[in-house]
Amino acid sequence: MDSSLIFTIGNALRTWLEGLCRAHGVPTLVVDILAWGTGAVLVVVLGLLVALFVIWLERKVAGYIQTRLGPTRVGPVGIFQTAMDALKILQKEDIIPRGADYWLHLAGPVLYFTALVLGFAVIPWDVKATLAATVDLNVGLIYVIGVTSVGVLGVVMSGWGSNNKWSLLGAMRAAAQIISYDVPLLLALICVVMVAGTLSLTRIVELQGSAGILGWYVFKPYLWLPFIIFVICGTAEVNRTPFDIPEAESELVAGFHTEYSGMKFALFFLTEFDHMWFVGLLGATLFLGGWYSPLGAADPIPGFVWLMIKSFIFVLVLQWFRWTLPRLRVDQLMGLAWKFLIPAGFVALAIVCVAVLFI
Amino acid sequence: MDAGLDMRTTGTKSDDSILSILRLIVQGIVSIAKSHWVTLVNFWRPTVCERYPHKDKSLDYKPGPGYKGDFALITDKEKGRLRCIACQSCERACPNHCIRVVPAGKGKDRYPAEFYIDVGLCMNCEICVEVCPVDALTMTPDYECSVHDPRDLIRNIKQLTERGMEFDEVSRVR
């Protein structure tokens, strides 16, 4: 099915509702709010479904890398395993430890989840850009960095509110790590922005797609270094192995979510895997040409599907990292960010400066 | 060199010169690439898992002789009777007292009227098999012993004789 059909239906519905509003003297803002709300709910639900799928994928990939099978029992190839796990975790008792700060303990996972979901608002899903949920902000990239960085506040709140030394240590490590890795990540993103000349994610994708597959930024040699930095920092931002010291099982039990159970833990878990997919979406948008097909404009497959395929390539690569590399020590982690990636980011910036000036 | 740059995988002696730092970086990249190659190769290798009861029941999952599975009493096919002479050596030797033999008959005709083994209590030490003077008792490679009721774990002489029909000698590793 062509995605333009959905837009036609949506626009027709919108026109009809607006007519209805005018006829009854209701401000048409109501229709806008309704459209935004519908889109937001759609994106959140999609995000949660994808998170369940990514968790299943992770377990399968882990299995095959270790030459075992992974989940096989629930549904074909175990595809409903994580859905059943979610049902199980819903029934669990919600434990709040003695001496915990109730409101911070509650707000931690909520903020962690909300910060990530806000980031989905500006992802350009398809060629006609504004599906109701997607806002084409002209400062889209700054918005993404801004709202997703708020998530670390949720981590610190949950670590402090749990009244547990492991949680607190994990939260402080997470804060240090995410703030450190934001710097080289920003340097890598600045390179992209310099080449594109805009901060709008939709516009960045359009600029890449206009020149065919070779216009994608991943195929420009002067953007290879920023791309590598982006992948490394993306892994660190998601707190995944080899950068998972905030929850290092062997040292900190489970880090900042040691004291969580039931739905709050599920929220942390889903957000973590959703974040991985979000990094994939961002990478696909900035470097792999977003919704554009590698086959050219005549491709009948909707752009949304291509975006999903590209983002899942990123997800698979991150999972490959996780099941290959051991965890870094805390000082090694900081050393990698401040002594390697930030200088490398400045080198990349210099290269891109020259390239933008002379190419 | 301070701790932050200490990311080398080999025990190379390092100094602060730019060349040695670059060499360390290259070494690190190469070793990371190698490890990713290993996991990639393993990803495509066939899995080693046997999905035991579910995939293919025709596959022979039976372990070889010497496996300490369920018990059996061996029948002497020429004489047409159990080898067991109901001497109760096994019953006395069992550290867990999970064997009970009820003898019947006199002299050469002595035979077990009842022979109970509680395999739920058994710890598979195989002392009963070792002490048997006529090699009548054996452990077999049959391992599918799970039941819903613990009382079903007590083997009687009928079950033991039936299972023993396919054995002519004590099942053990030569």
Give pLDDT tens digits for A151-204: 888 888 888 888 888 888 888 888 888 888 889 999 999 999 988 888 888 888
Residue A2 maps to a domain: no
**CB distance B42–A66 less than 8 Å?**
yes
Under an 8 Å CB criterion, which residues of A touch B? 61, 63-69, 72, 320-321, 323-325, 331-332, 334-336, 338-340
- Give me the DSSP letters along A308-341: HHHHHHHHHHHHHHHTTSPPPPHHHHHHIIIIII
Residue A326 maps to a domain: yes
**B105: pLDDT strictly greater than 60:** yes
Tell me the pLDDT band of A227, cut-offs 50, 70 and 90: very high
- What does residue B124 show for φ and ψ, rounded to 5 degrees? 60, 35
> How far B94 CA sits from the closest chain A CA (Å)?
41
The per-residue pLDDT for A230 is: 92
Q: Provide mean pLDDT across the span A312-330.
A: 88
**A132: pLDDT strictly greater than 50:** no
Q: What is the 3-state secondary structure (H, E, C) of B76-137?
A: ECCCCEECCCCCCHHHHHCCCCCEEEEEECCHHHCEEEEEEEECCCCCCCCHHHHHCCCCCE
Domain total of chain A: 1
**A264: pLDDT strictly greater than 70:** yes
The per-residue pLDDT for A159 is: 87
Residue A28 vs residue A305, higher pLDDT: A305
The per-residue pLDDT for A1 is: 43
**CB distance B43–A65 less than 8 Å?**
yes
Is residue A189 a contact partner of residue A139, using CB atoms and an 8 Å limit? no
Is residue A51 a contact partner of residue A274, using CB atoms and an 8 Å limit? yes
If residue A175 lies in a helix (H) or strand (E), which one and from where to where? helix A165-196
Residue B145 maps to a domain: yes
Q: Provide mean pLDDT across the span A36-65.
A: 87
Distances (CA, A) of A254 to A54, A59, A268, A292, A328: 20, 18, 11, 40, 16
Tell me the pLDDT band of B55, cut-offs 50, 70 and 90: low
Hey, what are A274's tokens? 């959703």
**B149: pLDDT strictly greater than 70:** yes
Residue A277 maps to a domain: yes
Residue B140 maps to a domain: yes
**B51: pLDDT strictly greater than 70:** yes
Residue B127 maps to a domain: yes
End-to-end CA distance of chain A: 40
Residues in chain B within 8 Å Cβ distance of A320:
36, 39-40, 43
Average pLDDT in chain B: 82
Which of A59-68, A270-279, A302-311 is least confident?
Answer: A302-311
Of A108, A109, A111, A119, nearest to A44 by C-alpha is A119
**CB distance B35–A332 less than 8 Å?**
no
Residues in chain A within 8 Å Cβ distance of B42:
64-67
- Full-model pTM: 0.76
The per-residue pLDDT for A316 is: 92
Q: For A240-254, what is each residue's pLDDT tens digit?
A: 878 887 777 777 777
Of A150, A231, A152, nearest to A189 by C-alpha is A231
**CB distance A323–B39 less than 8 Å?**
yes
Give the domain CATH number at B139: 3.30.70.3270
**CB distance A332–B4 less than 8 Å?**
yes
Question: What is the number of residues in chain B?
Answer: 174
**CB distance B42–A67 less than 8 Å?**
yes
Residue B35 maps to a domain: no
**CB distance A336–B36 less than 8 Å?**
no
**CB distance B7–A72 less than 8 Å?**
no
Q: For A114-123, what is each residue's pLDDT tens digit?
A: 888 888 888 8
Distance of CA A44 to the CA centre of its chain: 12
Is residue A228 a contact partner of residue B29, using CB atoms and an 8 Å limit? no
Residue A343 vs residue A23, higher pLDDT: A343
Q: Which domain holds residue B76?
A: 71-164
The per-residue pLDDT for A206 is: 81
Q: Which of B3, B45, B48 sits opposite A331 (nearest CB)?
A: B3
Residue A167 maps to a domain: yes
Residue B59 maps to a domain: no
**B54: pLDDT strictly greater than 80:** no
Residue B77 maps to a domain: yes
Tell me the pLDDT band of A71, cut-offs 50, 70 and 90: confident
Q: Provide mean pLDDT across the span A307-336.
A: 88
> How far A332 CA sits from the closest chain B CA (Å)?
5
Tell me the pLDDT band of A127, cut-offs 50, 70 and 90: low
The per-residue pLDDT for B174 is: 61
> How far B14 CA sits from the closest chain A CA (Å)?
16
Of A117, A190, A157, nearest to A257 by C-alpha is A157
Q: Which domain holds residue A204?
A: 92-358
Average pLDDT in chain A: 84
User: Is B51 an 8 Å CB contact of chain A?
Assistant: yes
Q: Provide mean pLDDT across the span B112-127.
A: 89
Identity of the residue numbered A180: S
**CB distance B39–A69 less than 8 Å?**
no
SS3 B75: strand
SS3 B72: strand
Hey, what are A286's tokens? 């900035």
Of A306, A281, A284, A282, nearest to A293 by C-alpha is A306
Domain total of chain B: 1
Of A65, A247, A316, A249, nearest to B35 by C-alpha is A65
Q: For A291-313, what is each residue's pLDDT tens digit?
A: 887 777 667 777 778 888 989 99
Residue B117 maps to a domain: yes
User: Is B48 an 8 Å CB contact of chain A?
Assistant: yes
**B9: pLDDT strictly greater than 70:** no
Question: Could you tell me the strand order of the sheet in which B154-155 lies?
Answer: B99-104, B111-118, B154-155
